Amino acid sequence: MFSPVVFQIPADEICPYLECDELERFPYLEEKSRITQGSFGAMKKLEIMRDYLHPTMRTRMKSYSSDDKLLFALKSVKIIADAPLRNMERDVLSMVSRIPKPACDNIITLMACYKWKDSMHFLFPFVEADLSDVLRNINNRCPNHLRERLAEGDILVEHWLWKEMEGVSRALSAFHNKMKNPFKDVKGKVAALHFDLKPANILVTSDRKLKITDFGQSIIQIIDDDDEEKSLPHNTGHPRYEPPEARPTSQDLTQGSHDELMVSLNYDVWSLGCIMVEVLIHLLGKDLQAFDKALAGLHQTAKEPSGWKQVRFFEEPNKLRQCVTDSFKTFENEFQNDSAQNEYMKDVVRLLRNMLDHDKKNRAYSWKVTQKLDEARVKFEAIRTDGDSLVVAVDKHGFQDRKGFKELGWRNGPEIVSFSEM
């Protein structure tokens, strides 16, 4: 190959944007066995020889592959005039690449971003499995070590998959709230939404790391610093994981629809809540296929529902489907003989109910999800250490100022008396 483009990551570790001449050539060896075409671009699986990779690129690939053969995913999206929402992916990925650790550990790494001919091209490390493979393994491409569930005596908060889900919540919170405004001449803060959070868009590396990917339907906007009611234009995602307020398409918005729908930053939180329910069903060894059938309103002896992917977690006018609320009860009853895990699961279910609140005004935001998960973990550790949830609750809420409190006791009778009277 004659003088191909050599990509590199600069010292600031922010992936640069390049505009390449049409005569430029790239050091790609195509593997045509995995080429997919979607509404937001085509994805190809590629190999790049090490000789054509700058050392900065090889270093960044270490967390994805220890193999000598370095595989990448190349997403190509045709540039469409007068379609700002469809052309926003470059700006989104540029900002996402600036998210610092630890949140960036659970977001796919952008290796290169360039314009060539009539398309934008995004280069990522290739990851074979995604969370849908872990949960359902329909194509039998998920390694067994990624599908391990909780065994008897295992601790949920110590299982790699649940810890990674906590990481995904942190990454989502950073994406929503902590991206820096790159425009020096525009005042305000960045507000962003993914709009298509689903198991298939959470990659799973061979060393058990979850990575949020596919920002093709994401939207970013600069809003006033004092704007408390953050809202963004609406894009469409996967029907199964969409919240109740999901309605018009991005095409409707780009055509200047008068019925433009603005959604809040907790739109993605609903999607995350749905995913967490499915992850818990899997980890606890329950039947996810049975859940799918119940969600679709089918009898358990029926065949796999052909349209199960389209059935939402709620039903009109404003309630969760019965199988979802039944799952909550199952989760709460799972650890009856382990007070620490029992309390932890109650906290998680309480959070899930808040994440799946039909009313977006009452629904939790991603920062609150992360906060509640952290608090639940701290509480779990305290109960496991002290062995009594009541002691932990008293310590948490405290009686630092004991004025007005008296020690009470009771004789072998119905009344409570002061110890001083006994």
Secondary structure of 294-360 in HEC code, one letter for each residue: HHCCCCCCCCCCCCHHHCCCEECCCEECHHHHHHHHHHHCCCCCCHHHHHHHHHHHHHHHHHCCCCC
Which range scores top for mean pLDDT: 109-123, 223-237, 241-255? 109-123
List alpha helices for 34-159, DSSP H: 55-61, 89-96, 131-136
- pLDDT exceeds cutoff 70 at 255: no
- pLDDT exceeds cutoff 50 at 359: yes
Q: What is residue 258's predicted lDDT score, i.e. its pLDDT?
A: 40
In the chain, how long is the greatest CA-to-CA distance?
97
Q: What is residue 252's predicted lDDT score, i.e. its pLDDT?
A: 46
Q: Identify the bridge partners of residue 262 per DSSP, sorted by sequence position.
A: 233
Across the range 329-340, mean pLDDT stands at 96
- pLDDT exceeds cutoff 80 at 227: no
Q: What is the mean pLDDT of the chain?
A: 84
Question: What pTM does this model have?
Answer: 0.85
**Which residue pairs, CB below 8 angstroms and at least 24 apart, start in 391-399?**
none
**SS3 category, 231:** strand
Across the range 379-385, mean pLDDT stands at 95
Across the range 172-178, mean pLDDT stands at 93
> Could you tell me the CA-to-CA distances from 102 to 59, 194, 228 in Å, in that order?
18, 19, 26
Dihedral (CA of 81, 84, 90, 91) sign: positive
Which residue has better confidence, 262 or 305?
262
Across the range 323-335, mean pLDDT stands at 97
Within 8 A by CB and 6+ apart from 181, the residues are 187, 188, 189, 190, 222
**SS3 category, 398:** coil
Give all domains of the chain, ordered by start, each with its CATH number.
1-126 (3.30.200.20), 128-422 (1.10.510.10)
Lowest average pLDDT, out of 279-293, 353-367, 401-415, goes to 401-415
Q: Give the span between the Cα atoms of 102 and 97, in whole angstroms.
A: 13
DSSP structural state of residue 144: G
Q: What is residue 308's predicted lDDT score, i.e. its pLDDT?
A: 61
- pLDDT exceeds cutoff 80 at 415: no
